[in-house]
Amino acid sequence: MYEQQIILAILVPVMLVCFFSFASVALWLHARRKEREALYRNEMMKKVAESAGAVGTTLLEMLREEERTGRARRREIYKLGGLVAIASGIGLIAFLNGVEQHSPVYLVGLIPTFVGVAMLAYVFVFGPRD
């Protein structure tokens, strides 16, 4: 019993350090990739602005299409996030109602449900259109 506590006391901090080290390196690499993509995009836009004619307009149309697909992708992510939040809220309501029947603890499930409803309302009602 005592040996297991010692092993856990050593293993848990080591695992936490490993996890946070991995997470920090992964986030740093992601930020660096985004920065590099932005640099390449800006260089391409400079070249397009300097050039004239059909090639320039084609590349500008390509950039506009890329922006449209990015907006559409974000809208789909908001839709999925809203649906997941609503589903988790409904599941939480059902679970908490079954666990504690004498007090209204199940109302806590309304929080993620309303967050999901707000996300879907933003996408369908208040959000920017294409």
Q: Is the dihedral of CA 23, 25, 29, 31 positive or negative?
A: positive
Does this model's pTM top 0.85?
no
The span from the CA of 101 to the CA of 39, in Å, is 58
The pLDDT score that the predictor gives to residue 86 is 97
The pLDDT score that the predictor gives to residue 42 is 84
Q: Is the dihedral of CA 39, 41, 42, 44 positive or negative?
A: positive
Looking at residue 63, its amino acid is L
- Secondary element (H or E) of residue 36: helix 2-50
The pLDDT score that the predictor gives to residue 125 is 92
Q: Is the pLDDT of residue 59 over 80?
A: no
The per-residue pLDDT for range 80-118, each reduced to its tens digit, is: 999 999 999 999 999 998 888 888 998 999 999 999 999
